[in-house]
């Protein structure tokens, strides 16, 4: 049998039911690996060994009593530090929240807790999810397990690295413009962003509310489907969650997306995504994925998404505007950034806010707050924000038109493999370009999945592997089963 820390969700469940190991043993094996190797990677900001042991022991007791348990029972999970877990820190990798402890579970966490999942700890990220490399964390960067001199991607770099390095069986992240799919590509794991509204955002520290979506990092597409099925569904605590989406068949991909139906699908290849400057390793990897899918009998068709060229500009107006609004609540007082407020009694309220926010927010957060406040200000709203929203409508319309003739769309995830640490920190525009292939999906509210071209690369040896390359599948709204099904058959072909 594989080492406990190398198991997928499915193999973990099978081994647990066969009594090859206990949930507590699996939890302990993961913590042993975290303690031995995470200091070199820094995937986790905090761990929760005591509460994880209690949760794992509860699963073992349930099994001993003959109770039926689901596929996530006892599974060791990592969670991005902007998703609330009651009683655990929730810093969003910002000094502004470094002393904040969550007082309730996010809805996605509550659902996973009900399923018996074991939460190992909270993972590193770019501050308030603002970044593409996890270099913007106030508590230190995360390194890529395949090559520690390179970034893990962002903003969910800690979650991606945790799964790639086998510090967790799976993880949760959030995706606003590619923050699940891009780090999954850099770390060689599966990253899945559901349709906007498919998973409740209640308990997710908001960055840009019309774009944010919680989703899983896993070692296989099949595992991503298991995780998605557990967290999807309507939630009265989130007015944007879908009231009537039905995902009852996703747990059995062979049944919900049988091969004979997959073979009848057409996949679109948008000319705007295969641009000059695409790294040769990425271009070759994506071409290899296309050839393998053709071997399944899937047809391909060239399509055009003409407004894609405006997506990046549109995003960096809409997103900062929402950031400016959402981060206004973080004044450093309600969340007690500094405990010695009595020493500031001589300051005016305005000066106190300036001091707290000036010290609490990092450079990238400040940059986006300022930009968002500017585009929403009097005299500039029509020129920037309203025009960006109109452009967003055109981008969504392009996808709707394309999906009249194709069932899914295949693109690269990133222009390059993981880049060296520090290579883009002084050039924000170069960093923003990392999300050029993922941002349109968020603007249109579509599901997208990042899949390793050559299968999930094991980083068990940490630093011993080549840099991975992923490809992206984009689906129609509420048709997660289509891209999960295609991805599952791709894995079986690869495997």
Q: Which residues are catalytic?
A: 80, 155, 179
**Cis peptide bond N-terminal to 155, omega within 30:** yes
Residues 6 or more apart whose CB falls under 8 angstroms from that of 145 comprise 41, 152, 161, 164, 165, 187, 459, 462, 463
Encoded tokens for 205: 């520290």
Q: How far apart are the C-alpha atoms of 442 and 472, rounded to whole Å? A: 13
Q: How far apart are the C-alpha atoms of 303 and 470, rounded to whole Å? A: 21
Checking DSSP bridges between strand 408-412 and strand 143-144, what pairing results, if any? unpaired
Nearest CA among 82, 84, 123 for reference residue 104? 84
3-state SS, the chain, equals CCCHHHCCHHHHHHHHHCCCCCHHHHHHHHHHHHHHHHHHHCCEEEECHHHHHHHHHHHHHHHHCCCCCCCCCCCEEEEECCECCCCCECCCCCHHHCCCECCCCCHHHHHHHHCCCEEEEEECCCHHHCCCCCCCCCCCCCEECCEEEEECCCCCHHHHHHHHCCCCCEEEEECCCCCCHHHHHHHCCEEEECCCCCECCCCECCCCCCCCCEEEEECCHHHHHHHHHHHECCCCCCCCCCCCCCCCCCCCHHHHCCHHHHHCCEEEEEHHHCCCCCCHHHHHHHHHHHHHHHHCCCEEEEECCHHHHHHHHHHHHHHHHHHHHHHHHCCCCCCCCCCCHHHHCCCCHHHHHHHHHHHHCCHHHHHHHHHHHHHHCCCCHHHHHHHHHHHHHHHHHHHHHHCCCCCEEEEECCCCCCCECCCCCCCHHHHHHHHCCCHHHHHHCCCEEEEECCCCCCCCCCCCCCCCCEEEEEECCCCHHHHHHHHHHHHHHHC
Q: How far apart are the C-alpha atoms of 390 and 179, rounded to whole Å? A: 24
Q: How far apart are the C-alpha atoms of 31 and 81, rounded to whole Å? A: 18
Distance of CA 150 to the CA centre of its chain: 19
Asked if residue 303 lies in contact with residue 398, where contact means CB atoms within 8 angstroms, the answer is no
């Amino acid at each position: 049998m594989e080492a406990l820390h190398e198991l997928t969700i499915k193999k973990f469940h099978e081994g647990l039911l066969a009594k090859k190991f206990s949930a507590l043993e699996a939890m302990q094996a993961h913590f042993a690996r975290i303690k031995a190797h995470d200091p070199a990677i820094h995937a986790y900001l905090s761990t929760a060994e005591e509460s994880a042991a209690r949760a794992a022991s509860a699963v073992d007791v349930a099994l001993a009593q003959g109770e039926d348990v689901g596929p996530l029972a006892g599974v060791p999970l990592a969670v991005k530090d902007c998703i609330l877990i009651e009683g655990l820190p929730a810093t969003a990798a910002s000094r502004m929240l470094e002393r904040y402890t969550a007082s309730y579970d996010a809805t996605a966490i509550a659902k996973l807790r009900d399923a018996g999942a074991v939460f190992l700890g909270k993972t590193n990220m770019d501050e308030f999810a603002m970044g593409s490399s996890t270099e913007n964390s106030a508590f230190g960067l995360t390194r890529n397990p395949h090559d520690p001199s390179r970034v893990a991607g962002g903003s969910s770099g800690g979650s991606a690295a945790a799964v790639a390095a086998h510090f967790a069986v799976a993880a949760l992240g959030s995706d606003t413009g590619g923050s699940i799919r891009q780090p999954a590509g850099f770390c060689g794991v599966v990253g899945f962003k559901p349709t906007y509204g498919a998973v409740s955002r209640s308990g997710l520290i908001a960055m840009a509310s019309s774009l944010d979506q919680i989703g899983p990092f896993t070692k296989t597409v099949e595992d991503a489907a298991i995780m998605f099925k557990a967290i999807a569904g309507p939630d009265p605590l989130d007015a944007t969650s879908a009231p009537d989406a039905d995902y009852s068949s996703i747990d059995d991909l062979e049944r919900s997306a049988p091969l004979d139906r997959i073979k009848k699908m057409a996949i679109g290849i948008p000319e705007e995504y295969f641009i000059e400057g695409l790294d040769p390793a990425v271009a070759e990897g994506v071409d290899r994925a296309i050839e393998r899918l053709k071997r399944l009998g899937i047809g391909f068709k060239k399509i055009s998404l003409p407004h894609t060229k405006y997506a990046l500009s549109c995003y960096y107006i809409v997103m900062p505007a929402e950031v400016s609004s959402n981060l206004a609540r973080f004044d450093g007082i309600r969340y007690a950034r500094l405990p010695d407020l009595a020493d500031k009694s001589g300051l005016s309220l305005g000066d106190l806010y300036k001091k707290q926010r000036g010290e609490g927010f990092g450079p990238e957060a400040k940059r986006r707050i300022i930009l968002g406040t500017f585009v929403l200000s009097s005299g500039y709203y029509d020129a920037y924000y309203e025009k960006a929203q109109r452009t967003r409508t055109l981008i969504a319309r392009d996808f709707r038109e394309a999906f009249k003739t194709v069932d899914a769309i295949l693109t690269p995830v990133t222009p390059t493999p993981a880049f060296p640490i520090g290579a883009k920190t002084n050039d924000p525009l170069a960093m923003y370009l990392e999300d050029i292939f993922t941002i349109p999906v968020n603007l249109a509210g579509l599901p997208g999945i990042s899949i390793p071209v050559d299968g999930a690369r094991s980083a068990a040896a940490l630093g011993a592997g080549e840099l991975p390359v992923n490809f992206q599948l984009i689906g129609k709204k509420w048709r997660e089963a289509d891209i999960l099904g295609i991805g599952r058959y791709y894995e079986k072909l690869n495997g």
